[in-house]
Amino acid sequence: MKIMVVGGGGREHAIIKKLKENKTVTEIFAVPGNAGMANDAVLVDIGAKEIDKIVAFAKENNIDYAVVAPDDPLVLGAVDALEEIGIFCFGPNKNAAIIEGSKVFSKNLMKKYNIPTAQYEVFNDIDNALKYLETAPIPTVIKADGLALGKGVIIALTREEAIDAVKSMMEDKVFGKSGDNIVIEEFLEGPEVSVLSFTDGKTVVPMISSMDHKRAGDNDTGLNTGGMGTIAPNPYYTKEIAEECMEKIFIPTMNAMNNEGRTFKGCLYFGLMLTKNGPKVIEYNCRFGDPETQVVLPLLKTDLLTVMQAVTNETLKETKVEFMDKNACCVIMASKGYPQSYEKGFEMIIPREIENSVYVAGASFKENKLVTNGGRVLGATAVSDSLEDAIKKAYEMVKTISFENAYYRNDIGQKALKAKGE
């Protein structure tokens, strides 16, 4: 089988490595991929948002199956366009990807179907938003409606910060059109859990839970990033909470999308907060999380392509999806300065013995050498029987990888270890 994976980060590298385990897979094309995955896939120089070119490439190269991983092409309708020429895909259609593409849509969906989430108001007019803020409970959370590279959420600890956030989104348009509509919502507190799930619109199968580390600095300080590391499973996510989430969140969300004529097929990501009033949805994503995927997929026992095809064929119910009874830890190595400005073009040395455990997110070739080419450069994932050992092994790997200006957090997994009492 010839497979095409759209996207170019660490998540896509993890997906590609897992797909390669299937013996029927003869060739994988990464569109665009990055130089760090050149040993695992054929790199195709087409951007993930260039849908027409992606479709033409798939047709010319007789692609049998396509996995569209990032939010942008999904929201733009890449799956619809590929399906139109008869290519089987993993990923939601455009009308279902809106669950991530519009926060106003997802909040209204949750309200309509009684799915637990933070209380909120929607505004398309700055004066009304500012008036609301005069009496809104503080802290409060301001969210731009559309995709904003994961940066469209501002937690305002004071009324002044809230006013500034609204002005920056609605007046200065720092997130462009994404700020035409905004959501102002209740500030929730509690441990956060990421649960990725496979769903074909008939069945929803949660994957092993995970914990992201979004802030740039140790002890959750500094700016928000795309994610500096992950562990799985998440110790806060007990069996009881999992059952409650299935009943009150996962199945109701799948049914709600069906009811709206927007059947979701693919990976539906639930960003949850375990509040003292029960689990609540912080956000939905229409795709695998990054870097959650780099700990979740290494723990998947079942063949990934088989599960993905079951989603496409709507036979997920008959497919066993099993995870190992182990722990995983992924430490992201970034370029110093990320998520703000950083330098790139530094030579990267990844020892051959650990290549299989390294997912490259941002690299290119310079004079045949692998060099850094992004804020998040790579993730090193270790799997072990205990979380403590997985953390230890992930950091041992990180210490053997080198590139100039490398930066990583030193405390990935520590909060989880404490929660486990280890």
* Residue numbers at the binding site for ligand AMP (CB under 6 A): 118, 141, 150, 153, 155, 185-188, 192, 214, 271, 282-283
Give least dist CB 338 to ligand GLY, A: 14
Q: Which residues bind ligand GLY (CB under 6 A)?
A: 150, 212, 227, 285, 289-290, 292
Helix runs in 63-212, H state only: 71-76, 78-84, 94-101, 103-112, 126-133, 159-170
Instruction: Determine the distance from the C-alpha atom of residue 10 to the mean position of all C-alpha atoms in its chain, rounded to a whole number.
Output: 10
Indicate the residue among 100 and 200 with the shorter CB distance to ligand AMP.
100
Give least dist CB 143 to ligand AMP, A: 7
C-alpha 381/C-alpha 391 separation (Å) is 9
Give least dist CB 147 to ligand GLY, A: 11
Selection from ligand GLY, ligand AMP, none that 227 binds (CB < 5 to 8 A by kind) is ligand GLY
Indicate the residue among 227 and 319 with the shorter CB distance to ligand GLY.
227
Selection from ligand GLY, ligand AMP, none that 100 binds (CB < 5 to 8 A by kind) is none
Indicate the residue among 371 and 409 with the shorter CB distance to ligand GLY.
409
CB 175 within 8 A of CB 151: yes
Give least dist CB 123 to ligand GLY, A: 24
C-alpha 191/C-alpha 282 separation (Å) is 11
Q: Among all chains, which residue has been given the structure tokens 């942008």?
A: 72
Selection from ligand GLY, ligand AMP, none that 188 binds (CB < 5 to 8 A by kind) is ligand AMP
Give least dist CB 164 to ligand GLY, A: 24
Selection from ligand AMP, ligand GLY, none that 268 binds (CB < 5 to 8 A by kind) is none
| Residue 55 structure tokens | 């479709």
C-alpha 399/C-alpha 337 separation (Å) is 19
Indicate the residue among 166 and 206 with the shorter CB distance to ligand GLY.
206
Selection from ligand GLY, ligand AMP, none that 185 binds (CB < 5 to 8 A by kind) is ligand AMP
Selection from ligand GLY, ligand AMP, none that 141 binds (CB < 5 to 8 A by kind) is ligand AMP
| C-alpha pair distances (Å), 87 with each of 75, 83, 264 | 18, 5, 18
Q: What are phi and psi of 307, to 5 degrees?
A: -70, -45
Indicate the residue among 283 and 303 with the shorter CB distance to ligand GLY.
283
CB 188 within 8 A of CB 297: no
φ/ψ region of 77 (left if φ > 0, alpha if ψ in -120 to 50, else beta) reads left
Selection from ligand GLY, ligand AMP, none that 71 binds (CB < 5 to 8 A by kind) is none
| C-alpha pair distances (Å), 44 with each of 37, 38, 55, 71, 302 | 11, 10, 13, 19, 28
